[in-house]
Chain A
Amino acid sequence: MARVILHIDMNAFFASVEQVANPKLRGRPIVVVGSDHRTVITTASYEARAFGVKTGMTIPEAKKLCRDLILVIGDNRKYTTANARMLDVFYRYTPAVEVFSIDEAFLDVTGSMKLFGSGEEIARRIKDDIKREVGITCSVGVAPNKLLAKLASDMMKPDGLTVIAPGRVDEVMEDLPVGELCGIGPSLTGTLAAMGIKTCGELGRSSPSALRTRFGIIGERLRLMGLGVDESEVSPVDEEAEARSVGHSMTLRADTGDKEELSMHLLHLSEKVGRRMRRNGYLGNTVTLTLRYSDFRTFSQSMRFRKPVNDGMDVYLLAMKLLTPMRLAMKVRLIGVSVSGIIKDPMQVSLFEDDRKRAAVTSAMDDINDRYGEFTVTWGSLLARSRRKGVIAPAWRPDGSRRVEY
């Protein structure tokens, strides 16, 4: 039996939620931005998109296109709540739900059709439920696999419903530009074009050996994508792989070359990384410091610990070892820290008293912060730092290590 997969994509998700939450914003060109006006646009409403405003633009770029543009500082708690309501709707129809990002999900409804009707009928019900219960619209693609379902949901926005039936796959793929497929970005599109491959039809008919020679093991996967073949399963949240790294970053209020200020932000980010690692029972052995200059050039440097850690202070001290000797070429716009080389914490008690005391202090701080809120107890040097709302990461998930409380 052919699988029936739905891809559900919320339309201009953050902007739509803000328009629901604030009636004054409905029907008006708005963009959702980070905690200050220096971050790039996270989402533009469809009214703003009509002026050419797009995700990733800077505010001045967007203002040039739309003088009456309204900037809304994002509130991630509104979006995670909306996401939870969306998931409640999805689980009514199938347990096979894969959260692809905060505003996208794949559903395998193959086993649900006897109860709820065809894939298209289920898609209509889900669209209605989300409109009624969350207040926003979504575009849904219905197809025999995830690749085609995602392609289908992109075909009609906003508020679309597109079905690619198994018998129509060849017809859909024949003239479709390869860049329309999820996973084929501009660089790969350029490389394929240089090989004379511009459409999915051409990709599907390409010589497997030529693709393998040029792209290695993904060559055959690319050819199958050109044919509209994708065997990947819908992976429910609880089957997701463990995190490979845990990190946080922030765009600064103003560009700075002051290492003391950067050090304060680094301590704050390191503490957040440590908290998330301990909450998920992780240790990590490599710290990566990422800086973005004011001209948007971005670079990272890494260093390894002698033993895996999950204490924010350890993360900070190693990150400072990277930052201190750096000669900054210009002022810094964004700073980030992450820990990789993740393993599960075996909860081994240290033989050394100093380590045990420090672990006890960290545990006590965690208990207090769990009870009264993040950073209720923290380092004195962070007291001057005001609370700021962060921009939600694309990798955010409703559960597991990618879940971050805002």
Chain B
Amino acid sequence: MTMELKELITVGAVFSPGQVRPAWFMWRGRKYPVSEVAYTWESREGMARLMHFSVVSGPNVYAIAYNPVGSSWEMRGVEQDWRG
């Protein structure tokens, strides 16, 4: 089941020309390495163009979003316990 969230998080990401790639994120006091960026998509919230990432860490899939206005990252959703 997907749990929808909206929590500010800290993310370590590689910014290269035309591309942003999250490498790890800190959420609720724990650091999660990103093993796969499965998909990226965009949305608009007012003037801000948000970049969304579906990332895999351990057994879970997380949806995180980057807002270039203010350079903030948010945890938007978690899909847990899907293996087995």
| B-chain residues with CB within 8 Å of residue A369 when the two chains form the complex | 46
| A-chain residues with CB within 8 Å of residue B36 when the two chains form the complex | 23
Q: Please provide the chain B residues from 37 to 73 with a CB less than 8 Å away from any CB of chain A in the complex.
A: 38-47, 52, 54, 56, 61
- A77 and B82 contacting across the interface, CB-CB below 8 Å: no
CB distance from A364 to the nearest CB of B (A): 15
Per the bound structure, the CA–CA distance linking A21 and B45 in Å amounts to: 21
A373 interface neighbour in B41, B45, B79, B83, Cβ under 8 Å: B45
- A77 and B43 contacting across the interface, CB-CB below 8 Å: yes
- B46 and A135 contacting across the interface, CB-CB below 8 Å: no
Per the bound structure, the CA–CA distance linking A22 and B62 in Å amounts to: 9
Please tell me if A267 contacts chain B, counting CB pairs below 8 Å. Answer: no
From known contacts A22-B79, A23-B56, infer whether A135 and B39 are also in contact, taking CB-CB under 8 Å. Answer: yes
- B52 and A24 contacting across the interface, CB-CB below 8 Å: no
Contact flags (1/0) for A43-84 with B, using CB distance below 8 Å?
000000000000000000000000000000101011011100
With CB as the reference atom, state the residue of chain A lying closest to B82: A24
CB distance from B64 to the nearest CB of A (A): 12
Please tell me if A370 contacts chain B, counting CB pairs below 8 Å. Answer: yes
Please tell me if A352 contacts chain B, counting CB pairs below 8 Å. Answer: no
Q: Please provide the chain A residues from 68 to 107 with a CB less than 8 Å away from any CB of chain B in the complex.
A: 73, 75, 77-78, 80-82
A23 interface neighbour in B41, B52, B61, Cβ under 8 Å: B61
Please tell me if A406 contacts chain B, counting CB pairs below 8 Å. Answer: yes
Chain B residues bordering chain A, tally (CB within 8 A): 19
Per the bound structure, the CA–CA distance linking A194 and B41 in Å amounts to: 50
With CB as the reference atom, state the residue of chain B lying closest to A24: B82
Please tell me if A405 contacts chain B, counting CB pairs below 8 Å. Answer: yes
- A406 and B46 contacting across the interface, CB-CB below 8 Å: no
Contact flags (1/0) for A14-29 with B, using CB distance below 8 Å?
0001001111100000
Per the bound structure, the CA–CA distance linking A386 and B61 in Å amounts to: 26
With CB as the reference atom, state the residue of chain A lying closest to B54: A21
Q: Please provide the chain A residues from 318 to 345 with a CB less than 8 Å away from any CB of chain B in the complex.
A: none
Please tell me if A296 contacts chain B, counting CB pairs below 8 Å. Answer: no
- B40 and A81 contacting across the interface, CB-CB below 8 Å: yes
Please tell me if A299 contacts chain B, counting CB pairs below 8 Å. Answer: no
| A-chain residues with CB within 8 Å of residue B47 when the two chains form the complex | 370-372
- B54 and A81 contacting across the interface, CB-CB below 8 Å: no
Please tell me if A376 contacts chain B, counting CB pairs below 8 Å. Answer: yes
| B-chain residues with CB within 8 Å of residue A372 when the two chains form the complex | 45-47
* Most chain A C-beta atoms within 10 Å of own C-beta, residue among B39, B47, B54, B79: B39
With CB as the reference atom, state the residue of chain A lying closest to B83: A24
Per the bound structure, the CA–CA distance linking A91 and B21 in Å amounts to: 26
- B44 and A405 contacting across the interface, CB-CB below 8 Å: yes
CB distance from A225 to the nearest CB of B (A): 38
What are 13 A-to-B residue pairs whose CB atoms are below 8 Å?
A21-B54, A22-B38, A22-B61, A23-B56, A23-B61, A77-B41, A77-B52, A78-B39, A135-B39, A370-B47, A371-B47, A373-B44, A405-B43
Given contacts A77-B42, A376-B46, 18 further A-B contacts (CB under 8 A): A21-B41, A22-B38, A22-B39, A22-B54, A23-B61, A24-B61, A24-B79, A24-B83, A73-B2, A78-B41, A81-B41, A82-B41, A369-B46, A370-B47, A372-B45, A373-B44, A373-B46, A405-B44
Residues of A within 8 A of B (CB): 17, 20-24, 73, 75, 77-78, 80-82, 135, 369-373, 376, 405-406
